[in-house]
Amino acid sequence: MTKHPARAWDQATARTIIDSHRAEPGALLPIFHALQDTFGYVDREALPLIAEALNISRAEVHGVMSFYHDFREEPAGRTVIKICRAEACQAVGCQGLVDHVEARHGIALGETTADGAVTVEEVFCLGNCALGPSAMVDGKPLGRMTREKLDHLIAAARTGRQ
């Protein structure tokens, strides 16, 4: 959701985060979100810590994490481009954008470029359905998306310009 957390995984920080949420009713999602906001993903090593803190099984922690599309097991690219593939955006050609990104840049949905610069993902509805096709780049909504704009975004991400 946010632009990229510089922080490398460390257990002590993770423990502090987990502890600050453990008393909340239904704390699991807030914990995953907080870890991912900090580290950019939820490290495997966090799972037993969470299980212990909430007194549930590791399998349960893993089961919940894997159920939700948002949580990552490893870091994403430095820039995350989400392209909306829901009906309102389909009506104005979002599939063409997805096909273009794959054909021109070699990035299929769900993939990250080898240089770690860009991850492209699908999303179903950003609530920007009157100004589609829509995308979200590092949490910023972008409407009336075109192939050219995507080319610029990807090029900028790869050369480190923002």
Partner 1 sequence: MTLRIYVPADASALSVGADLVADAIAAELAARRIEAQVIRTGSRGLFWLEPMVEVATLTGRIAYGPVDVADVPQLIPALLEGAPHKLKLGNPDAIPYLARQERLTFGRVGVIDPVSVDDYRAHGGFKGLEKALAMKPAEIVEEVVASGLRGRGGAGFPTGIKWRTVLGAQADQKYIVCNADEGDSGTFADRMLMEGDPMILIEGMTIAGLAVGATQGYIYIRSEYPHAFRTFGRAVEACRKAGLLGTRIAGSDRDFDITVRLGAGAYVCGEETSLLESLEGKRGLVRFKPPLPALKGLFGKPTVINNVLSLAAVPTILADGAKTYADFGMGRSRGTLPFQLAGNIKYGGLVEKAFGLTLGEAVHDFGGGTLSGRPLRAVQVGGPLGAYFPADYLDTPLDYEAFAQRRGMLGHGGIVVFDDTVDMAEQARFAFEFCAKESCGKCTPCRIGSTRGRETMERVIRGEHIADNLTLIEDLCRTMTDASLCALGGLTPYPVTSAIEHFPEDFDRPRAHRAAAE
Q: Does position 59 bind partner 1 by CB under 8 A? A: no
Q: What is the CA radius of gyration of the chain?
A: 17
What is the rounded CA–CA span in Å between residue 52 and residue 97?
44
Which helix or strand (DSSP H or E) is residue 137 part of?
strand 135-137
Place of tokens 């009506």: 91
Measured distance between the N- and C-terminal CA atoms of the chain, rounded to whole angstroms: 17
Instruction: Assess 114 for contact with partner 1 (CB under 8 A).
Output: no
Nearer to partner 1, 4 or 8 (CB): 4
Q: Which of 83, 136, 150, 153 binds partner 1 (CB under 8 A)?
A: 136
Let me know: does 27 contact 21? Beta carbons within 8 Å: yes
The span from the CA of 29 to the CA of 64, in Å, is 8
Q: Which residue in 11, 108, 139, 162 binds partner 1 (CB under 8 A)?
A: 139
Q: Are 133 and 144 in contact (CB under 8 A)?
A: yes
Is residue 5 a contact residue for partner 1 (CB under 8 A)?
A: no
Judged by CB under 8 A, the residue of 6, 25, 159, 161 near partner 1 is: 25
Q: Does 101 bind partner 1 (CB under 8 A)?
A: no
CB of 75 to partner 1, least distance (A): 17
* 94 marked as binding residue: no
The Cα angle at residue 102 between residues 114 and 145, in degrees rounded to 5: 110
**Residue from the set 58, 69, 104, 152 that interacts with partner 1 by CB under 8 A:** 69
Q: Name beta bridge partners: 112.
A: 119
Residues within the annotated binding site for [2Fe-2S] cluster?
84, 89, 125, 129
**Residue ranges at the known binding site:** 84, 89, 125, 129
List interacting residues with partner 1 (CB under 8 A).
1, 25-30, 32-33, 54, 63-64, 67-71, 86-93, 95-96, 99, 123-132, 134, 136, 139-144
